[in-house]
Structure 1
Amino acid sequence: MPGHEKYAGRIAIPYLSPDLKTLQLRFRRLGDEDGPKYLTVPGDIPRPFNTRVLDLPLDTMAVCEGELDAITATQAGIPAIGIPGVSAWRDEWALALEQYDTLYVLADNDDKGQGAKLGETIALRCPNARIILMDSGHDVNSYVNEFGPEALRKKVGISE
């Protein structure tokens, strides 16, 4: 499509409403090429990803940095929403997260140190937050790819 060449070769990640309408798309690059890892369509506002899980009757919820981590955690049996980067956090989102007995912040442990920062930011606003720092060099997705979903559940303290 003309004008959308910068999104070519990227994974399109849809943000869906509860009735499955597409609210926005983010695009993730494949591989380690130069340039930003994620692109958003100009004018789109930051919003949590996978908010449909917030409608489920649960005592616990997880927050991850990024859409793929939220997908991976949810598939591993830990329902999660994704925040599109540390700087995207909005304090008003905490209102939807205060309803849970425990809020797990599955924090990246990468060389940027942003995951720990996200956890600290959320913990300041959500007294129910418990920060779970991934092993060094890992985010949720890479952790599950290396150690498996059961290892993530064990790390969080959830068993099936």
Structure 2
Amino acid sequence: MPSNGSKRMLASSAIRFHRELLENQDGPAFAYLSGERGLSLETIEQFKLGVVSESDEEYGHLAGYLSIPYITPTSPTEWWQNYVDLRFRRGPEMPDTAPKYRTLPGHPTRLFATTTLANPSDYIVIVEGEVDAMTLIQCGIPAVGVPGVKAWKPYYKNIFAGFERVYILADKDEAKDDAEVGVGERFAEEVARAVPNPKVIVVPDGGDTNGFYLKHGAAELRGLIGV
């Protein structure tokens, strides 16, 4: 867990990037999140999404990247203590040659949207990626995101011990290298072997959860899961 000093710096940077995004709602970053990804202003504000400015003294080398803070329910009073990590996603106007994701040195991978776990529910949805998790939460579905198919850790299973049902949404990826299923389904199968009362649901079209939501809407997404 980061030190208090590191958390203060993470919180300060996250809020700075978030302010940059909100002050430029006619810019490409906001258009991408709200238009291409269908995230509401409320969701953007809830998760403090942001964009890095080229004039940023500390992170200017990541100009154009979208910032995704990892916020935990650690402290109900000291808000800055809840910021434990920052992840960056390639912005809409950046070349495809730029790394799709950038992470901070020395920071381990974590579950995204763990504030969801602080709200009582008899079920939870596990999905790959932050945008898919935010999409589910926007639709009123409790969810957490795993930042990549290789980011699941064995001890995560303990987090889900109290849920009556754990749904795992699998991206519909093309199978490669003689594999029977794609990496999304293999990821879901790995998670299902670890958590109690699992149910794997393969997204039928749209490729991933966010794509399905954009094509079919919130009601159809809830119907797909059965909640």
TM-score of the aligned structures, taking structure 1 as reference length:
0.91
Contact 2:173-2:185 at 8 Å conserved across structures = no
SS in 2 for 1:152: helix
Distance 1:138 1:6 in 2: 31
Shift of 1:153: 0.3
Paired position in structure 2 for 1:28: 89
Contact 1:49-1:81 at 8 Å conserved across structures = yes
Shift of 1:30: 2.6
Q: 1:12 aligns with which of 45, 55, 67?
A: 67
Q: 2:103 aligns with which of 13, 21, 40?
A: 40
Identify the range of structure 1 (50-59 vs 132-141) with the bigger mean alpha-carbon deviation: 132-141
Q: Are residue 157 (structure 1) and residue 226 (structure 2) matched?
A: yes
1:13-62 CA-to-partner distances (Å, cap 9, x unmatched) read 00012134210100011347224321111111111000011111110000
Q: 2:200 aligns with which of 96, 114, 131?
A: 131
Identify the range of structure 1 (109-118 vs 85-94) with the bigger mean alpha-carbon deviation: 109-118
SS in 2 for 1:24: strand
Unaligned runs of 5+ in 2: 1-55, 176-181
Distance 2:195 2:58 in 1: 41
Paired position in structure 2 for 1:86: 149
The 4+ residue runs of structure 1 with deviation greater than 6 A are none
Alignment-mate amino acid for residue 124 of structure 2: M
Paired position in structure 1 for 2:209: 140
Choose between structure 1 and 2: higher helix proportion. Answer: 2
Q: 1:50 aligns with which of 107, 113, 117?
A: 113
**Larger gyration radius, structure 1 or structure 2:** 2
Distance 1:6 1:76 in 2: 35
SS in 1 for 2:172: coil
Q: 2:171 aligns with which of 108, 116, 120?
A: 108
Alignment-mate amino acid for residue 129 of structure 1: P
Distance 1:30 1:110 in 2: 23
Alignment-mate amino acid for residue 13 of structure 1: I
Count of residues in Structure 1 that have an aligned counterpart in Structure 2: 158
Contact 1:73-1:79 at 8 Å conserved across structures = yes
Choose between structure 1 and 2: higher strand proportion. Answer: 1
Contact 1:110-1:136 at 8 Å conserved across structures = no
Percent pairwise identity: 37
Shift of 1:99: 1.2
TM-score of the aligned structures, taking structure 2 as reference length:
0.65
Shift of 1:2: 5.1
Distance 1:56 1:42 in 2: 31
> Which one has more relative contact order, counting CA pairs under 8 Å at least 6 apart?
1
